[in-house]
Structure 1
Amino acid sequence: MAGDTEIQVHWIQKIVEKELEIREIDLFTLKSFFLRYYHTIPCTLTLTHPSSDDENKPDFREIDFGSPVSPSQTPRSTSSSSSGSIYTKRSGEISEYSIENSPIATRSLRSPTNSKPAMILYPAGNICPSGILKTDMATNRRTKSDVLGYGTVNYGHGNIVRGGGGASKPTGGVVMKEAAKKAAMSLDPEVVRRAGNEQYKRSNYAEALRLYDRAIVLCPCNAAYRSNRAAALTALRRLDEAAEECEEALRLDTNYGRAHQHLASLYLRLGQVENAKKHLFCQRQQPNPFELQQLQSVEKHISKCSNARRIGDWKSVLMEIHAAIDAGADSSPQLFMCRVEALLKMHQIDEAVSSLSNIPKTESLLKSSSQEKFFGMISEAYFYFVGAQVDMATGRFESAVTAAEEASLIDPRSIEVGVLVADMKIVARARARGNDLYNSERFTEACSAYDEGLRRDPSNSVLYCNRAACFFKLRQWDRSIQDCNRALQIQPRYTKALLRRAASNYELGKWGEAVKDYETLRRMLPDNNDISQALFHAHVALKKSRGEEVSNLTFGGEVESISCLEQLRSTISLPGVFVVYFAIGSYLQCKQTSPFVNTLCNRYPSISFLKMDIEERPEVASVENIIVIPTFKIYKNGRQVKELVFPSHDLLEHSVRHYSF
């Protein structure tokens, strides 16, 4: 019982010293208070095992509230019965054990009979650990009041301003920055390391990394410093560098358990299951149950993914990839690259290409993982293997062959890579030969060349589209449409295939089908004048086939200026759709709107655009009842159908599109 009391008094004194450090209150006063009332705090010291997230944090050895221990303290070994883990503490480590519910660090004061934190009673006027001033009890009033500081100065947690007057000396971020600068100039690596730990606790990972770098310069053979640097790199999501730093820590101390744990966690996130196993089960280290469960789950999903890939079940491949990522392999470049491959095989080429930008970046491959196998081939070779397929699917044939050959150099024993190289060389040669024959107007022979490439790569949309061009030149428009359909099944937004199918339908007199394709193309390429003109002629042909009047329809081009009211009336009385733009050239709103009207004129050639400057013809404003500038009126076959007053660009285009072909 006496021993428990000594422990309680010791920790109360620690709390007192920290409160003094933060709030600048008289040490003797606070110590007297806590020693008087400490018997109301039924607490004992409880050591708790860390969560799995703590494994990637710097190694804090200190038991004091968030302040690093001096290097003179003796290292000791501590074990937790909850998991069986054995940790060896070293100089410079950050302890994985903590005392909860402190505003400074993750420490715990718990009741011996209840798992809930014990309630602490404070007399009025006392400063609580949360920094809140309790005022609901009887209090001895001071002659000079204490108030919480406020204003433009950055204060520390619970800072006190005496007398409610001017602000006290700031104790928050400004002081920490100054302390970090001062520590960085120190020649004592422990001082620098402690400053790095403080920055890490405050999530200033870049600054913590800088300080750890300085500590390593001063003491390059300290494994704990390397481990701390790895924790900062992990927080900055530079996982490959963090793993290299852990390997360097193990080179300095092969028995450093903390570095093994860090590496196991990092390799698990990188999807390298075998490497993670080596470090999770190293020496006498008992694996963390949570990390062991994560590893088993990731291994299971990667295995299922590999089996599904082997039989070509790409939907299941995608499902297992997402499951493995959710299980913990959230930074595995190989899994993300496998997702790209699955999307390619499912003919989702645009999504596959965009997914390339989401692959976790790694500056270099680790020595220990450079020969790691993934789906039976070396990991680095797999990147080139998938990249070659992306290049081939998007028409970059030469780049595809180069990437495939690079994969073969990295993993010459892979049968899958060898087959890919052979196929891509044949496809690239067939495409090059077909293009040469097409340019020589030997279209039948060009078709045969493209046939050879398609036998090796039956999902190549580029070869289908090229062969469709040959059939078009041979006036075999039905066969051209068939090849365009195959290409669009693989790549739905393939503009060249849409253009050739539209042109083939036009030649066959299928005006409605041609209009659909041209309208799709106009949405994809709204400012392409050639597409707009082709759409206009397809609309005219469609109207003719229906017996509608088309004699006065002309392809647009420019906004026509109207000089008088009589010219306006005679023009809008003609058949067709006219958009009349009432403006004043000197007005800012009109200067901003006019370029967009010109764009609409090119975008919707079936509509005629007219412009009337009412500053030059004010009588027109009175006759047409124009009050707000700019105003738009839409006429169809001589009758006004819509009026828009100062419309937004979106509303104006929506209305124009509605009355276009």
Structure 2
Amino acid sequence: MSHRPPAPMPDTLSDAFAAAVLLSSTDKPDTLPPGRLSPVSPLPHSSKLPTPSSSSGSSGSVSVSRAPLAPASGLASRRSHSGEIPLPSDAPPRGARPGHRRTGSGPLIFTSGTSACSSSATSPLTNALPAGNIYPSGRLTKPLPSSCSAATPPPPPRATRHDVLGSGTANYGHGSIVRSRCGGAAPSTEEDAMVMRAMSVADREEVKRAGNEQYKKGCFEEALRLYDRALAMCPDNAACRGNRAAALIGLRRLGEAVKECEEALRIDPSYGRAHQRLASLHIRLGHIEDALRHLSLVTPQPDLLELHRLQTVEKHLGRCVDARKVGDWKSVLRESNAAIAAGADSSALLLAARAEALLRLNHIDEADLAITSASKFDYSSSCSPDTKYCGFLANAYLFYVHAQVDMALGRFDHAVSSVDKARIIDPGNTEVVTMHNKVKAVARARSLGNELFNSGNFSDACLAYGEGLKQHPVNSVLYCNRAACRFNLGQWEKSIEDCNEALKIKPNYSKALLRRAASYGKMERWVEAVKDYEVLRKELPGDTGVAEAYFHAQVALKSSRGEEVSNMKFGGEVEAITGMEQFQMATSLPGVSVVHFMTPLNQQCCKISPCVNTLCTRYPSVNFLKVDVNESPAVARAENVRTIPTFKIYKNGVRVKEMICPSQQLLEYSVRHYGI
């Protein structure tokens, strides 16, 4: 197969873009191959075969004239790079059965002349390609001798066999040969081998055609399965590899798609569609040099849109690297986001850079999400081991950032594992070595501090956590652990300071907020304590410990102000109301009261009553009351209750909400809203 020599690779991306613009200005728009940018190209139709001619002799035998076939070697030399291999021009189109017909019970004889055995020049057809049900056994008739005459009659006719073909989409005309081949029999002649090769081509095209239909529907898993079947028939087919890569891209398995395209180019280095697809993949993965190399090999010219995308990604990627060198983390975040939006949406390294920037800007939860997304990409399968980013080798940067995020979130064992992997990959990198030493020291300090704390040695535990903070001064977990030590030592002011530092690093850190509220309580700073407990109640609505602490802080605050607190209670069962005086006293208590107007015989009341009991346990600071309207009709009339179940919520003696036949979700939402 002849290949056009590839154009010399441009030195820079700007040169490539300028060359592409110049070429596009001289070419006509319609000179571009149709469907060049389509992931899966349409299957070209095969050319029609010559119409066979036949004549029937008096003996009942049939002779069929057929155009000679091209040699078998021509199948491998005629390739189409539109994404599919066209059906060979000498193969019968789908559904057609040229080359023979049945007449009576006589055998089928293929000749190269216009009449059977009419001349000594008649010779057997060694290149004939019968495509039909020649014999049910799959065996071909023996070739005729080089000459024949009337003295040499044809073989006696065999008994008539009526083949019944089933319905469906199968390629009839290949059935008996398939049966013989599946039985394990090797082709006995070159003619048999040609028949099998032609069958393989036709079947492969049919499978690929079905795969293309599934791809167009977005059924990428099914398309991939069909392309795998086509490849099993012909493993060294570049177009099948290209189609398989397209299905893998649809499944977001980009690393595998890269390998599939590279395999297609190994088979056929001039396959322009594979170069185009590889360039697009490398742009998405953030591999600038690889993308430019493959774009320069696309014929007749690289796509201008892809070149523009590559230029934009390269610009933002360069700015991101420069900003990281000087520690400008806001710029790192901005440029990494811009590069991802420009087309490098599957670049694990850019996502890792974004995670590192978010971490340094104290957005720890967002950093965790970013590095988790980066870890989902199979980066090692889509780049060479010597690929560098910001001075890091290959995956070393990913593990380096992962270790930082794990350490900030208190996942010290994971942090040690990640930094160990980074050092194995890139042992000579000074940043990796420094981070390795830091993570190891912090993990040791935390482990020692925990052992001392559990043994009750709070003073030494406090010192151990302090040593860890010297190595990593922005570790919220170590600050919170030291605050716990100082709380137990009665150093409540210092405990509050450590909690404040932890909350600066991680504002939604519940443990730090809880320890600060407890420290405020010890110092009888009830206003600050109640504020912290209110936040905790919203964050942890089902935590009974927080609810009880909040209740006691409220009682203490009211008591410090001289307010009445003797009637305040915490938790318990749903209180039954039997009279108007009891009802008025219960609903006038400080805090929140929820009144359930019901009757035991009502089906809806019976259905929602278990939910009320659950809420009573879940929100112990809320007073839950129930009024049986049959036993206490005066209360029902005073409250104008006409439909049951009805719920009324009172806060500090004032009715704030009324609900008639509410759902369980609405009831719990209302209790949580007014009870916190």
TM-score (ref. length: structure 2): 0.69
- How do residues 46-195 of structure 1 correspond to structure 2 at under 5 angstroms? 47-49=30-32, 54-55=36-37, 57-60=39-42, 62=44, 67=45, 90-91=79-80, 93-94=82-83, 187-188=200-201, 189-195=204-210
Deviation at 1:340, TM superposition (A): 1.8
Please state how far the C-alpha of 1:430 moved relative to its aligned partner: 0.7
Distance verdict in 2 for CA 1:639–1:264, change over 3 Å: closer
Say if 1:275 and 1:369, in contact at 8 Å, map to a contact too.
no
- Tell whether 2:574 aligns with 1:559: yes
CA distance in 2, matches of 1:642, 1:234: 55
What is residue 428 of structure 2 aligned with on the other side? Answer: 413
The residue type equivalent to 1:441 in the other structure is: G
Paired residue for 2:331, among 304, 316, 322?
316
| Alignment correspondent of 1:228 | 243
Per the alignment, residue 521 of structure 1 pairs with 536
Alignment partners' CA distance in 2, 1:656 and 1:46: 68
Q: Is this contact kept in 2: 1:59–1:224, CA < 8 A?
A: no
Find out whether 1:448 has 2:463 as its counterpart: yes
Task: Decide whether aligned partners of structure 1 residues 70 and 218 sit closer, same or farther in structure 2, where only a CA change above 3 A counts.
Answer: farther
* Pair 213,70 (structure 1): closer, same or farther in 2 beyond 3 Å: farther
Aligned counterparts of 2:654 and 2:215: Cα–Cα separation in 1: 73
For 1:492 and 1:267, how far apart are their aligned partners in 2? Answer: 39
Partner of 1:430: 445
Structure having the higher Rg:
2
Distance in 2 (CA, whole Å) between partners of 1:633 and 1:292 is 66
Aligned identity (percent) is 53
SS in 1 for 2:277: helix
Residue identity in the other structure for 1:313: D
Is 1:501 equivalent to 2:520 in the alignment?
no
Counterpart in 1 of 2:275?
260
Residues 416 and 443, structure 2, Cα contact 8 Å, conserved in 1: yes
Give the conservation status (yes or no) of the 8 Å contact 1:334–1:374.
yes
- Aligned position for 1:41: none
CA–CA distance in structure 2, aligned partners of residues 637 and 47 of structure 1? 80
Residue 495 of structure 1: how far off its partner (Å): 0.9
- The 1-side partners of 2:432 and 2:543 are apart by 42
Deviating more after overlay: 292-301 vs 501-510: 292-301
Paired residue for 1:348? 363
Write out aligned runs for 1:260-299 (5 A).
260-282=275-297, 286-299=301-314
The CA distance in 2 between the partners of 1:556 and 1:230, in whole Å, is 63
Q: Does the 8 Å contact 1:579/1:609 carry over to 2?
A: yes
Q: Do residues 334 (structure 1) and 349 (structure 2) align? A: yes
Name the aligned partner's letter for residue 214 of structure 1.
R
How far did residue 501 of structure 1 move? 0.5
Paired with 1:239 and 1:477, the residues of 2 have a C-alpha distance of 55
**1:92–1:190 contact (8 Å) kept in structure 2:** no
* Local SS of the residue matching 2:398: helix
Asked if structure 2 preserves the Cα contact closer than 8 Å seen for 1:179 and 1:195, the reply is: no
Amino acid at match of 1:91: S
- Aligned partner of 2:200: which letter? L
Q: Deviations over 1:589-623 (max 9, x none)?
A: 32443344334434544432111233555565456
Q: Secondary structure at the match of 2:200?
A: coil
Q: What amino acid is aligned across from residue 305 of structure 2 in structure 1?
A: F
Q: Counterparts of 1:431 and 1:642 in 2: how far apart (Å)? A: 50
Q: Give the secondary-structure state (helix, strand or coil) at the position aligned to 1:609.
A: strand
Counterpart in 2 of 1:124? none
What is the aligned partner in structure 1 of residue 183 from structure 2? none
* Aligned 8 A contact 2:541 2:672 in 1: no
- CA distance in 1 between partners of 2:333 and 2:171 (Å): 49
Would the alpha carbon gap of residues 537 and 613 (structure 1) be closer, same or farther in structure 2, given more than 3 Å must change?
same
CA distance in 2, matches of 1:505, 1:357: 37
Give how far 1:242 is off: 1.1
- Aligned match of 1:582 in 597, 604, 608? 597
1:254-274 per-position Cα deviation (integer Å, ceiling 9, x unaligned)? 333322222111111111112
Matches within 5 A, 1:567-578: 567-568=582-583, 571-572=586-587, 577-578=592-593
What secondary structure does 1:254 align onto? coil
- Write the distance in 1 (CA, Å) between the matches of 2:376 and 2:47: 37
Report if aligned partners of 2:83, 2:240 keep a CA contact under 8 Å in 1: no
SS at structure 2 position matched to 1:55: coil
One-letter amino acid of the counterpart of residue 58, structure 1: V
In structure 2, relative to structure 1, the CA distance for the partners of 1:194 and 1:646 (3 Å cut) is closer
Q: By how many angstroms is 1:475 displaced?
A: 1.4
Q: TM-score, normalised by structure 1?
A: 0.71
AA in 2 matched with 1:460: N
Q: Matched residue of 1:554: which SS?
A: coil
- What CA distance in whole angstroms lies between the structure 1 residues aligned with 2:588 and 2:216? 77
Alpha-carbon distance between aligned partners in 1 of 2:435 and 2:633, rounded to the nearest angstrom: 74
Aligned to 2:61: none
Deviations 1:258-313 (A, max 9, x none): 22222111111111112222322349875333222222221111111111112221
Distance (whole Å) between structure 1 residues aligned to residue 171 and residue 502 of structure 2: 62
CA distance in 1, matches of 2:407, 2:48: 61
Q: Which has the higher mean CA deviation after the structures are superposed, 569-578 or 320-329? A: 569-578
Structure 2 match to 1:613 = 628
**Does the 8 A contact of 2:592 with 2:652 survive in 1?**
yes
Q: How many Å apart are 1:463 and its aligned residue?
A: 0.5
In structure 2, relative to structure 1, the CA distance for the partners of 1:524 and 1:595 (3 Å cut) is: farther
Distance 1:216 1:533 in 2: 67
Structure 2 unaligned regions, length at least 5: 1-27, 50-68, 72-76, 86-167, 179-198
CA distance change for structure 1 residues 639 and 343 in 2, over 3 Å: closer, same or farther?
A: closer
- Equivalent-residue separation in structure 2 for 1:93 and 1:225 (angstroms): 11
Q: Structure 1 residues 653, 219: closer, same or farther in 2, change over 3 A?
A: closer
Partner amino acid for 1:560?
E
Q: Distance in 1 between matches of 2:247 and 2:169?
A: 19
Q: CA shift at 1:657, angstroms?
A: 6.0
Q: Does 1:530 align with 2:548?
A: no
Return 5+ residue gaps in structure 1 as ranges.
1-44, 75-87, 97-177
1:544 alignment counterpart: 559
Residue 352 of structure 1: how far off its partner (Å): 2.1
Question: Could you tell me which amino acid in structure 1 is paired with residue 549 of structure 2?
Answer: A
Residues 436 and 312 of structure 1: CA distance in aligned 2, closer, same or farther (over 3 Å): same
In the alignment, the residues of structure 2 paired with residue 232 and residue 68 of structure 1 have an alpha-carbon distance, to the nearest angstrom, of 25
- Number of corresponding residues: 519
- Any idea what SS the aligned residue of 1:365 has? helix
Indicate how the Cα distance of structure 1 residues 376 and 651 shifts in structure 2: closer, same or farther if over 3 A, else same.
Answer: same
Where does residue 479 of structure 1 map in the other structure? 494
Is contact 1:562–1:611 with CA below 8 Å preserved after alignment? yes
Offset at residue 502 of structure 1 (A): 0.4
Change in CA separation of 1:310 and 1:650 when aligned onto 2, cut-off 3 Å: same
- Return the offset for 1:50: 6.6
1:553 and 1:606 in contact (8 A); partners too: no
Q: Which moved more, 1:343-352 or 1:199-208?
A: 199-208
Q: Residue 133 of structure 1 aligns with which residue? A: none
Aligned counterpart in structure 1 of residue 261 of structure 2, from 231, 243, 246: 246
Could you tell me which amino acid in structure 2 is paired with residue 554 of structure 1?
Answer: K
RMSD: 3.5
TM-aligned CA distance change 1:361 to 1:434, over 3 Å: closer
Partners of 1:198 and 1:453 lie apart in 2 by 60
Q: Distance in 2 between matches of 1:68 and 1:207?
A: 25
